[in-house]
Amino acid sequence: MPDTTLRPGEIATCNAVRADATIQFIGSIQTPWPTRDQCPRQGSVDGPECQIHLFKPWDDALDGIDAYERIEVLYWLDHSRRDLLLQSPASDGRVRGTFSLRSPVRPNPIGTSLVVLENRDGNCLTVRGLDCLNGTPLVDLKPDRCAYSPIAPPKHTTDSRQ
């Protein structure tokens, strides 16, 4: 259950709608952090190893993931409140709009991390760079967009000089 305590200057809305869409969780993430207070604010590639476990049948979709050093992980921040318009995430008295922050408190609490892929063992990926709680639901995985180059099919040409 999310913490509903407001810090000075924060504003919440009572119009937060929770049933706009459906997201299918495709796996679960294991990290060393059981509480938000223990979780790092940003992941680090030299941080601890974490595991991403894909549920069946999505484990078959991992074919080819080994070709990438970095992958983007999208996950559902299931312990986050969803109603803040203005936030003071560092409790420093500075209040800013939710969309100007990387806070986990969002109307649709989808987190993203660019992680280093250390290993794949069947349906389990070992990665470094996560910043989410143990047991966080997995939404999606994507190759790092900077490293991704689609593989073009071989060209079939006819040399007219023959």
Look at residue 3 in the predicted model and tell me its pLDDT: 73
- The larger pLDDT score, comparing residue 69 to residue 151, is at 69
Amino acid identity of residue 133, one-letter, is L
Look at residue 162 in the predicted model and tell me its pLDDT: 46
The pTM (predicted TM-score) of the whole model is 0.78
Q: Which residue has the tokens 């294991």?
A: 30
Look at residue 147 in the predicted model and tell me its pLDDT: 57
pLDDT single digits (tens) 92-111: 789 999 999 888 889 999 99
**13, pLDDT greater than 50:** yes
Look at residue 54 in the predicted model and tell me its pLDDT: 97
Look at residue 6 in the predicted model and tell me its pLDDT: 87
Q: How many residues does the chain have?
A: 162
Structure tokens at 62: 């991992």
Look at residue 78 in the predicted model and tell me its pLDDT: 93
Peptide bond just before 109 cis, omega within 30 deg: no
Amino acid identity of residue 130, one-letter, is L
Structure tokens at 94: 């500075």
What mean pLDDT comes out for the span 18-23?
Answer: 73
Radius of gyration of the chain (CA): 20
Are the C-beta atoms of 3 and 81 separated by less than 8 Å?
A: yes
